[in-house]
Amino acid sequence: MNSRLLLELYKKQARMIYFYLKKNGCSHEDAEDIVQESYAKYIAYSSGVPSDKVLSYIFTISMNEFRKMLKKKGKEQVISVDDHRFWNNFANDQDPETSVLNIEMNHEIAITLERIQEVYKQLLILKYEFELSYKEISLLVGMKEETVRTYLYRARKEFQKKWRYLHE
């Protein structure tokens, strides 16, 4: 593969994978290491990967490395919901009651996300946290765009069901 093309791909996509790992509770250093390791593995095994599947291949390697790291450290995956926007709002918010309610809501969202299937959780985070289009998500996870739409529909339904159960 052309080294310039690989560098361009790295600049654009590595940041997105890095932030996704951070959103799933990965530390800064571990997220950087995982992204670099994923690209190194891709370079080593790139001959067997079709060019239209490069991003999903690297994303899959990253997720596998993250799970392996969690297992090795004996940790659970922790999802942070909208931390950056929340803390910006917190700094500007004058009403402590609203701030506490926001903290509780984020906690409940994280609990609900933990209770749904892994693929649904990934898709919901990519769609609603990272605000990616269906096409961008399909490229990232290596699914057809229609499959992403279907899975996101099912993910929303499952999320709603778990959310209702939590609030009954």
- Asked if residue 163 has pLDDT above 80, the reply is yes
pLDDT at 86 over 50: no
When pLDDT is averaged across residues 88-111 and rounded to a whole number, the result is 67
pLDDT per residue as tens digits for the range 24-47:
878 889 889 998 898 888 888 878
All domains in the chain, ordered by first residue: 3-73 (1.10.1740), 89-166 (1.10.10.10)
Residue (of 99, 118, 113) closest to 163 by Cα position: 113
108 sits in the region (left: phi over 0; alpha: psi -120 to 50; else beta) called alpha
Name the pLDDT band for 100 (thresholds 50, 70, 90).
low
Task: Single out the residue of 136, 132, 123, 129 nearest to residue 85, CA to CA.
Answer: 129
Binned at pLDDT 50, 70 and 90, residue 94 comes out as low
